[in-house]
Amino acid sequence: MKFGLIGAGCIGQLRAKALAQVEGCVLSAIVDVDPVRARAMASSSDVKIFKDVQEMLPQANLDAVIVSTPPQFHEDLVVSAFKAGKHVLCEKPLANSVEACRRMVDAARASGKVLATGFNHRYFPQIQYLKQAIDTGLIGELDHVRAFAGHTGLSEFRNSWEYDINGIGGGALMDVGIHIIDLTRYVLGEVDEVYGFTSNRVWNLGASEDNGIALLRNPQGKYAVLQATWTEWKGYRFYLEAYGTKGMVRAYYAPMMNLLITQDKPGGRRKRTVRFYPMTMLREKFIGWQSSVIQMFRQEFTDFVRLTRGKESAIADGVAGLRAVEIANAVYRSSKEHIAIRLAGNI
């Protein structure tokens, strides 16, 4: 499959490294508004470099594009790619508004091509372990989910779009939070009711919250409580916990680990399993966290190819991208209006 990369920044470069490790996939073209950046990352003279996506799409003979620009540009680029008949993997958040996400999902449907959202956290091994523990019934019937994601906020950012409402479309919930919103929905299923609070007392970034707390509920009455924060002074970390009728499972990062507690019956004898990922910890210590991201992107690309071929795939599709932005925006509305927000069933 021939890929074009749109946006040769931090994530675009990691995406290119991961794609190079996927059999049958080749990076054929790179476009960036800064062509020096694009040229610097071309691995060979076979990779065509463009300054404008409208030049690249008709010329480069591509099957798919990866969109890794700041979120405010995702919609135009993704819709152009669908008009040119390409499959698309777009970085998270899918776009900076619910309306833009909807238009992207509609464009995908009209083109008959695949839209995937870059929710690579689904490919963390400890998340896969958690998902399997739920799916195989190890913790009994799922009752509720608890999730957290945070980092230190302003000191983390390299660009103003990362905390600008007109860039990313919100605050912590649209940034680190969007991954755990997706993960929560991944294990809990569709969410139809949202209640939440946001605050911006620490960084005072206007409409971009530094803390968001959400309560989500699915139509079966199973719920999740989650927090996304830009005031996690201990540094980047996230966790997802699932509680069931016979136990619980926790996926934590960093360090990457799992905790599983199971019982033969509710209230019965408890068995505790702790799982570490020593090779990952060592690799991250000596090579950096990017090594894990590349590994996950690699699996995500493999699943992306499967999705384009109509095969079963764990990758987040366009609807997952839209739903996550819808949930974040429902928290914003709930926080302002002090009401629970109902989300529509069908998209």
Ligand X SMILES: NC(=O)c1ccc[n+]([C@@H]2O[C@H](COP(=O)([O-])OP(=O)(O)OC[C@H]3O[C@@H](n4cnc5c(N)ncnc54)[C@H](O)[C@@H]3O)[C@@H](O)[C@H]2O)c1
What is the contact surface with ligand X in residues (CB under 6 A)?
6-12, 31-34, 37, 53, 68-71, 73, 91-92, 118, 120, 159
Residues 6+ apart with CB under 8 A from 36: none
The answer to whether the bond into 278 is cis (omega within 30° of 0) is: no
Please identify, using beta-carbon distances, which residue of 93 and 244 lies nearer to ligand X.
Answer: 93
Burial 25-36 (b: 16+ CB within 10 A, else e): bebbbbbbeeee
In sequence order, the β-bridge partners of residue 247 are 244, 262
153 contacts: CB under 8 Å, gap ≥ 6: 172, 202, 203, 210, 229, 230, 231, 232
* Cis-peptide, bond into residue 70, ω within 30° of zero: no
Are 315 and 303 within 8 A, CB to CB? yes
- What does the alpha-carbon distance between residue 208 and residue 262 come to, in Å, rounded to a whole number? 40
Those residues whose C-beta lies under 8 Å from the C-beta of residue 49, and which sit 6 or more positions away, are: 29, 30, 31, 35, 38, 39, 42
Residue with token string 């409580």: 225
d(CA 53, CA 29): 10
CB of 38 to ligand X, least distance (A): 8
Nearer to ligand X, 34 or 141 (CB): 34
CB of 6 to ligand X, least distance (A): 5
Q: Based on CB atoms, which residue is closest to ligand X, 89 or 260?
A: 89
Q: How far is the CB of 76 from ligand X (least distance, A)?
A: 7
Nearer to ligand X, 10 or 287 (CB): 10
Measured from the CB atom, the residue of 62 and 138 that comes closer to ligand X is 62
Cα(278)–Cα(284) distance, integer angstroms:
10
Residue whose CB is less far from ligand X, 34 or 135: 34
Taking the least distance from each CB to ligand X, the nearer of 37 and 237 is 37
* Alpha-carbon gap, residue 296 to 135, rounded angstroms: 21
| Residue 273 CB, nearest approach to ligand X (Å) | 28
Min. distance of Cβ 225 from ligand X in angstroms? Answer: 23
Q: How far is the CB of 72 from ligand X (least distance, A)?
A: 9
Chain residue whose CB lies nearest ligand X = 9
Give least dist CB 208 to ligand X, A. 13
